[in-house]
């Protein structure tokens, strides 16, 4: 039985009917809602600096409220009187990105917020939310964001999705059902929820058959949209979770946002079916020979869905890079509204920034290896060798780690591996160790590189893209 689908509990036709009324099951081609603005540090019972993962809804909501009191792992000073008077955004996640990341890296590349640095930003969070709520996929994609955030124990993002679902008209019991009663949602949405959960918790186990299940309910175009959106949510979670920014005290124009609302008796003690309470460890890396065999094999594989045509992708890319043959990953997302922004951001993350190019390529390789993202692995391998990586270092993580001679690089590689496989276990000490050799600007880049790699892994592998070379 899929995790989260509970059949032995009392049937609730009234709640099911209400959920159907507030559910939007046909996501638009537009690729998602505004990304969550940050996420609390995840939990590790062995680390006294963070709480234990909440098992029940009241415990979870108390953690979300308590998060307002925490201190960010990268310095985040309060807005000055001058900044407030000038109308500067007070959203902590956006502020942190603007402070530490190169401008060309800063777009969320999720439709509704960010993207191109040349795109005019909305005047306020409230205006963004009002705009997003008018879209037919708003509630649907926010529920997927809730699932991803609960699975990663990303408490800041989870808090934002709780508040957005309230604004979308969902009742407390309807939101609570996301944690334990997926059977109350329409069949189409259950399929999307299950894939979002699998992509979040065990991307290394997702197969072509998992994406194919969505085709019973969604067009190929919509499947690409859902996969891309969920992949990006996993990126946002890792950024906001590892930076450990405090929860915003107000949201969407509210002067004081309260997260510890009452929970009904039905859901007060219901254990979570989504939270990372029993995460299976990732397997050890396969041999390099096995990797090379897999890379050869996937050159011939058939994508899980029908992709936009190469000509359509080339036409979109012409606006930025005329004459370039689009890679399969860009072809896959060519119909998405943020395709060109995503292209520009990925090029910028290779070209711009303070971190060492070899370290960047190694981070992409580690993420792809942990996630068993073969298409991504092929691209990371070529890039790593192109910037001077030694072929012998690709045989295992230990070989990569031992060859890291620059100060702090071995620690950065360990950080990347942990943030990829177990984001819910990130703690203050993980960032503190990076601070011994890196500036906060470099740490922000390292984190964002891991985040982007994890999104790229999920998007390309769930769609089963064939390798171009």
Please say which residue of 268, 298, 330 terminates a domain.
Answer: 268
Within a domain: residue 27? yes
At 179 the pLDDT is 97
Predicted TM-score (pTM) of this structure:
0.87
At 242 the pLDDT is 95
Pair (177, 316) in one structural domain = no
Within a domain: residue 202? yes
Pair (294, 413) in one structural domain = yes
- Domain of residue 230 covers 13-76+83-268
Pair (297, 396) in one structural domain = yes
Within a domain: residue 238? yes
Within a domain: residue 455? yes
Q: At what angle do helices 357-371 and 339-351 cross, to 10 degrees?
A: 130
Q: CA-to-CA distance for 272 and 269, rounded, in angstroms?
A: 9
Q: CA-to-CA distance for 271 and 440, rounded, in angstroms?
A: 38
Pair (242, 299) in one structural domain = no
At 108 the pLDDT is 62
Pair (251, 315) in one structural domain = no
Pair (302, 250) in one structural domain = no
For position 347, which CATH number holds? 1.20.1290.10
Please say which residue of 268, 300, 331 terminates a domain.
Answer: 268
Within a domain: residue 123? yes
Pair (153, 60) in one structural domain = yes
Within a domain: residue 395? yes
Within a domain: residue 5? no
At 116 the pLDDT is 42
**Among residues 360, 408, 406, which one has the least CA distance to residue 383?**
360
At 14 the pLDDT is 55
Within a domain: residue 180? yes
Pair (259, 292) in one structural domain = no
Pair (296, 164) in one structural domain = no
pLDDT in tens, the chain (469 residues): 333 333 333 445 556 655 555 554 333 333 333 333 333 333 333 444 555 899 999 999 999 999 999 899 999 988 777 766 666 656 788 889 999 999 999 876 665 443 444 444 444 555 555 666 656 688 999 999 999 999 999 999 999 999 999 988 999 999 999 999 999 999 999 999 999 999 999 999 999 999 999 999 999 999 999 999 999 999 999 999 999 999 888 776 666 788 999 999 999 999 999 999 999 999 999 999 999 999 999 999 999 999 999 999 999 999 999 999 999 999 999 999 999 999 999 999 999 999 999 999 999 999 999 999 999 999 999 999 999 999 999 999 999 999 999 999 999 999 999 999 999 999 999 999 999 999 999 999 999 999 999 999 999 999 999 999 9
Pair (88, 53) in one structural domain = yes
Please say which residue of 216, 239, 268 terminates a domain.
Answer: 268
Q: At what angle do helices 374-386 and 288-298 cross, to 10 degrees?
A: 110
Overall domain count for the chain: 2
Pair (300, 238) in one structural domain = no
Pair (300, 176) in one structural domain = no
């Amino acid at each position: 039985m899929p995790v989260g689908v509970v059949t032995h509990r009392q049937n609730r036709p009234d709640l099911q009917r209400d959920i159907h009324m507030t559910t939007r099951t046909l996501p638009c081609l537009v690729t998602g809602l505004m990304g969550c603005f940050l996420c609390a540090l995840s939990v590790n019972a062995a680390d006294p600096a963070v709480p234990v993962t909440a098992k029940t809804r009241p415990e979870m909501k108390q953690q979300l409220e308590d998060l307002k009191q925490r201190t960010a792992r990268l310095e985040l000073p309060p807005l000055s009187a001058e900044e407030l008077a000038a109308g500067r955004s007070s959203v902590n996640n956006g502020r942190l990105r603007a402070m530490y990341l190169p401008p060309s890296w800063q777009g969320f590349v999720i439709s509704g917020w960010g993207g191109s640095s040349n795109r005019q930003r909305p005047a306020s969070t409230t205006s963004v939310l009002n705009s997003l709520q008018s879209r037919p996929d708003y509630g649907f994609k926010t529920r997927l964001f809730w699932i991803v955030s609960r699975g990663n124990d990303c408490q800041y993002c989870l808090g934002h999705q709780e508040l957005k679902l309230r604004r979308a008209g969902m009742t407390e019991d309807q939101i609570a059902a996301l944690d334990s009663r997926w059977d109350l949602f329409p069949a189409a949405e259950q399929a999307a929820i299950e894939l979002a959960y699998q992509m979040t918790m065990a991307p290394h186990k997702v197969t072509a058959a998992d994406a194919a299940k969505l085709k019973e309910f969604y067009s190929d175009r919509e499947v690409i949209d859902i996969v891309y959106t969920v992949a990006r949510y996993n990126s946002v979670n890792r950024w906001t979770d590892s930076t450990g920014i405090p929860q915003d005290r107000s949201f969407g124009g509210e002067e004081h946002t309260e997260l510890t609302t009452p929970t009904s008796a039905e859901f007060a003690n219901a254990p979570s079916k989504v939270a990372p309470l029993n995460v299976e460890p990732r397997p050890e890396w396969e041999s390099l020979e096995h990797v090379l065999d897999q890379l050869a094999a996937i050159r011939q594989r058939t994508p899980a869905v029908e992709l936009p045509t190469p000509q359509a992708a080339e036409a979109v890319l012409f606006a930025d890079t005329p004459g370039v043959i689009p890679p399969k990953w860009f072809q896959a997302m060519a119909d998405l509204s943020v395709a060109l922004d995503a292209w520009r951001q990925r090029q910028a993350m290779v070209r711009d920034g303070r971190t060492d190019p070899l370290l960047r390529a190694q981070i992409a390789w580690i993420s792809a290896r942990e996630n068993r993202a073969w298409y991504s692995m092929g691209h990371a391998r070529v890039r790593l060798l192109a910037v001077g990586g030694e072929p012998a270092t690709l045989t295992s993580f230990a070989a990569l780690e031992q060859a890291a001679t620059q100060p702090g690089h071995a620690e950065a590689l360990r950080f990347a591996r942990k943030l990829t496989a177990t984001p819910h276990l990130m703690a203050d000490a993980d960032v503190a160790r990076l601070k011994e050799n890196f500036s906060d600007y470099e740490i922000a880049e390292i984190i964002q590189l891991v985040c982007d790699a994890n999104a790229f892994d999920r998007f390309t592998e769930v769609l089963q893209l064939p390798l171009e070379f």
